[in-house]
Structure 1
Amino acid sequence: MTFLHYQLVVFVSVLCLTRIHRNLGMVSALGWTLWSLATLEGPGYIIVQTFTAWISWYGTWCFIKQKQLVESTPKTTGQQTASTRRKATPNALVHNRAHHDELTHALRTAKKELVVVSGWLSDRVVNDQFCTLLAGALDRGVNVHIAYGASDRDGQHRLSETATRALERLKEIGKRSRKGQLTIVQRPTHEKCLVVDKRYAIVGSFNWLANAHYRDRETSLKVHQRRVVVELAAACRGGDTRSTEVNGAVVEVA
């Protein structure tokens, strides 16, 4: 084995033992120093091999300390914000017919809570497919909160025939539910909002429980920021209540 090969062996052995423990690396460097003094001829060889041993130990230990320091240092606010931004699901716009797809998806995938706020009701939306999906969500244990009640010029909400049929279907589904709770709230509201499990919310112009024909353009914003979603869910469940029906039974009248 040549002298250069020995330097490689010295470097690797000291590096590996230092990574295991600082003291092991120091003992290894000291051992190579004593071995050099005992076996090598010429001060040049002794100096080079001793230098290799100790610089390997010192360099490896400094690298380990720096790495530990970086890992233990808390992230700055800017770094945390950047990291969160990279991981966060981006907001998106929902247009026209895609609203129906979003409502269907929400009914099929909600796990704990679904909030739907719409100014009006219609059995054109609260149809057989909607009722089947709603019943399925309730059977999974999802709590569904529905609010409606846009006011006319007299400050009243007058149910049309199609809205009355929709409301009766909703009440019947609520009465049959044995797991999830269906809460139906009538209050003065022109809000149009869909909140799913506090994971995301969709807010915009679309009347979720009345619009079936898409005569006009509809646009909504789908947001995923948890703070915003939680605030929207609370706002949609709140407000001055005229009447509240839980599982089809009127339990409060303001």
Structure 2
Amino acid sequence: MWSWMFVSLLILAEGISGGQCSVILPKHVLTVVGGCVEIQCTFDNAINDTYLIAIWIKKAVDAVNPSASVLYDSEHPSREHINYTGRVVFAGNLGKRQCSLLINDTRRSDQGTYQVILVFVSEVNVTEHSEIDISVLEKPTIARVGEIIAGRILRLNCSITQNCPNGSLQLKWTYHNLSIPLQLDVEEAGEIIDESSGSRTVSSVLTLIPSAVNHGTMLKCTITSDSFQISSSETLILQVKCECLV
């Protein structure tokens, strides 16, 4: 009987590798709180195994959390850590050399380093493994701008990136100074897909011409989704300067 702890210790202590298999993972992926993240995983196999065991773990964080957490164990499903119960789906197919994993309802605590462990059970057992880092964003990003000058065109780009195959994110601009008119022109910049990691970046560009009376106006870019319960925002307070003639 293989245990995930034995396999992990075997890898860390001895670094055993079959040399006949390579696990292919992106190095780093992004997600957003409340969304999901799919870790795309494939492997090449030239090993004559009897059967294959796949294990996904989140590595130990620090002295406060010294133990690895099991997300998926094809041999012993009951070993799944309680923090991932009902949130993790094995999205791969070992027979087709796919070992992808989907984490739903992502949380800030999901950020960290994950490891996939493949155990090829045969007369001589072979273990292969690979790691990936996951970053969990709490809000979208408004690209930094220089000086904001009254009467000059200002373009602001708000964006968010995630690795979720079935969740469409949108970005909504609002401003909070309704007593003073502000003409806004919003252009959705579409979605950019990184084929190597599966990440999707959604952007929205806000164009406006601020005046001096707009100084102190708060602009807000909010994530919305038809698939997830997400409503996080980033704000920018306009610091409008006058271009005075001397």
Give the TM-score of the pair, scaled to structure 1.
Answer: 0.23
| Between structures 1 and 2, the one with greater strand share | 2
More helix by share: 1
Bigger radius of gyration among the two: 1
TM-score by length of 2: 0.24
